[in-house]
């Protein structure tokens, strides 16, 4: 990466934080990002591991990427000064357009955001998005993980409910509903091995409103009952774990369906249709023709954004969901058609 021309006014560097509890799949997601055929020029990857040996960084370097590592501590506490020094060094040397920070599993993103909010960094950098990877098993046992676990989820603009292939099929709609209700400002997308598309990751996040912590995140645990602790040395991305009883989940439960029609849709009815989509429909993309204009829709995990469209006016939508039939969704969509 080359440093900018000295006469060129530097733009703010955009920061994206990848966070999540131990073994949730952060390095898996980062490896996917690096492997995408997308423009990552001007991007620096900063990896933090809680230990003396940087295994995640080694894996990523083998993928052919330039990685900066912070080890022997957590960047939200013992390594906070190292984080400041590293960010300053990156800025002075490269002035990159983007920095991806993969935190350790025991890092609190609130503390990292606090560092990035200091005046010296705020002038040069902007925290654009926090992506939280959630091992689906951990949500079922969330009462034993406490405030750190909650903070990682609360700070996430995008929450990936990962490893759903290791759950009972019936548990996934319930988990999606519970997560949406607990963190209503976050996008929530179910994944296997953190498989998402680039547009989902880079989508501009919606503003967040922080809420009082639900009581179950502070529930006392009996000292007679052993608290399950994730093993930081165990690779949870292996398929060696035994799913719970019931139907195991695999990629075949993800479904796609589409709608294409030149007719116009009533805007108010269509926006109500989006708001009432079941949580299992987590991705909708395409054109929507209203009476006065046609817009491009990008819907991810319960949140959506619009962009202008100057091409042929029509409604052309692609849906991605989990474990549902598209027939009812399409019937509801057709109720939005403007009748003449």
CATH number of the domain residue 268 falls in: 3.30.1220.10
Would strands 187-190 and 158-162 be described as parallel, antiparallel, or unpaired? parallel
Instruction: Say what the pLDDT of residue 39 is.
Output: 73
Q: How far apart are CA 308 and CA 310, in angstroms?
A: 7
Cβ burial, residue 123 (10 Å; 0-12/13-18/19+): exposed
Query: What are the backbone angles phi and psi of residue 205, rounded to the nearest 5°?
Result: -75, 155
160 and 272 inside one domain: no
Confidence of residue 221 (pLDDT cuts 50, 70, 90): very low
Residue 120 domain boundaries: 13-218
Q: How far apart are CA 184 and CA 209, in angstroms?
A: 9
Residue 156 lies in a domain: yes
Q: Which two tokens stand for residue 243?
A: 């799913």
Q: How far apart are CA 42 and CA 33, in angstroms?
A: 14
209 and 64 inside one domain: yes
Residue 229 lies in a domain: no
18 and 73 inside one domain: yes
How would you list the strands of the sheet with 13-19, edge to edge? 67-70, 43-48, 98-102, 13-19, 125-135, 158-162, 187-190
Residue 99 lies in a domain: yes
Q: How far apart are CA 20 and CA 274, in angstroms?
A: 29
> What element of type H or E holds 109?
helix 109-116
Last residue of a domain, one of 218, 235, 267: 218
Instruction: Say what the pLDDT of residue 252 is.
Output: 62
Residue 179 lies in a domain: yes
Degrees (nearest 5) of the Cα angle 272, 274, 276?
70
What rounded mean pLDDT belongs to the chain? 79
272 and 210 inside one domain: no
Confidence of residue 255 (pLDDT cuts 50, 70, 90): confident
Number of domains in the chain: 2
> What element of type H or E holds 329?
helix 326-334
Instruction: Say what the pLDDT of residue 4 is.
Output: 53
| pLDDT tens per residue across span 116-157 | 999 999 999 999 999 999 999 999 888 877 888 999 999 999
Instruction: Say what the pLDDT of residue 212 is.
Output: 64
50 and 174 inside one domain: yes
Confidence of residue 11 (pLDDT cuts 50, 70, 90): confident
Average pLDDT over residues 189-213: 86
Confidence of residue 69 (pLDDT cuts 50, 70, 90): low
Closest CA to 254 of 179, 213, 183, 193: 193
214 and 262 inside one domain: no
20 and 63 inside one domain: yes
Would strands 43-48 and 67-70 be described as parallel, antiparallel, or unpaired? parallel
Q: Rounded to a whole number, what is the distance in angstroms from the first to the last CA of the chain? A: 58
Instruction: Say what the pLDDT of residue 45 is.
Output: 86
| 3: DSSP letter | P
Degrees (nearest 5) of the Cα angle 22, 130, 16?
105
pLDDT at 211 over 70: no
23 and 160 inside one domain: yes
Q: Which residues, including other chains, have CB under 8 Å from residue 44's CB and lie 6 or more apart?
A: 1, 66, 68, 90, 94, 96, 98, 99, 100
The interaxial angle of helices 146-154 and 109-116, nearest 10 deg, is 50
- Is-contact 332 258, C-beta < 8 A? no
191 and 287 inside one domain: no
57 and 205 inside one domain: yes
Rounded to two decimals, the pTM is: 0.72
85 and 37 inside one domain: yes
Last residue of a domain, one of 170, 200, 218: 218
Residue 322 lies in a domain: yes
Residue 340 lies in a domain: no
Residue 243 lies in a domain: no
134 and 281 inside one domain: no
Q: The CATH number of the domain where 117 resides is what? A: 3.40.50.300
Residue 77 lies in a domain: yes
Last residue of a domain, one of 193, 218, 243: 218
Confidence of residue 196 (pLDDT cuts 50, 70, 90): very high
- Is-contact 23 231, C-beta < 8 A? yes
Least confident residue range of 2-16, 36-50, 55-69: 55-69
């Amino acid at each position: 990466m080359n440093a900018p021309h000295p006469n060129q006014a530097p733009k703010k560097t955009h920061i994206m934080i990848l966070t999540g509890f131990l073994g949730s799949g952060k390095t898996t997601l980062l490896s996917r990002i690096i492997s995408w055929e997308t423009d990552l020029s001007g991007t620096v990857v900063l990896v933090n591991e809680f230990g003396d040996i940087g295994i995640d960084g080694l894996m990523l370097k083998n993928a052919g990427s330039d990685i900066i590592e912070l080890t022997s501590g957590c960047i939200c506490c013992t390594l906070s000064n190292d984080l400041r020094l590293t960010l300053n060094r990156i800025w002075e040397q490269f002035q990159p357009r983007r920095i991806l920070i993969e935190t350790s599993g025991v890092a609190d993103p609130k503390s990292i955001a606090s560092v990035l909010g200091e005046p010296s960094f705020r002038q040069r950098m902007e925290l654009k998005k926090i992506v939280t990877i959630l091992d689906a098993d951990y949500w079922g046992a969330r009462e034993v993980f406490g405030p750190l676990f909650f903070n990682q989820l609360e700070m996430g603009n995008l929450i990936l409910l990962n490893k759903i292939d290791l759950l009972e099929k019936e548990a996934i709609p319930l988990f999606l509903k519970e997560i949406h209700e607990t963190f209503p400002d976050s996008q929530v997308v179910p994944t296997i091995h953190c498989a998402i598309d680039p547009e989902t990751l880079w989508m501009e996040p919606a503003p967040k409103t922080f809420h009082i912590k639900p009581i179950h995140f502070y529930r006392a645990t009996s000292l007679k009952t052993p608290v399950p602790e994730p093993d930081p040395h165990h690779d949870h991305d292996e398929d060696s774990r035994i799913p719970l009883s019931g139907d195991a989940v695999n990629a075949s439960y993800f479904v796609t369906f589409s709608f294409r029609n030149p007719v116009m849709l009533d805007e108010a009815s269509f926006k109500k249709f989006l708001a009432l989509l079941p949580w299992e429909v987590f991705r909708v993309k395409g054109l929507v023709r209203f009476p006065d204009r046609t817009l491009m829709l990008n819907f991810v995990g319960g949140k959506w954004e619009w962009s202008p469209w100057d091409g042929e006016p029509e409604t052309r939508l692609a849906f991605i969901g989990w474990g549902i039939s598209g027939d009812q969704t399409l019937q509801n969509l057709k109720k939005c058609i403007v009748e003449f």
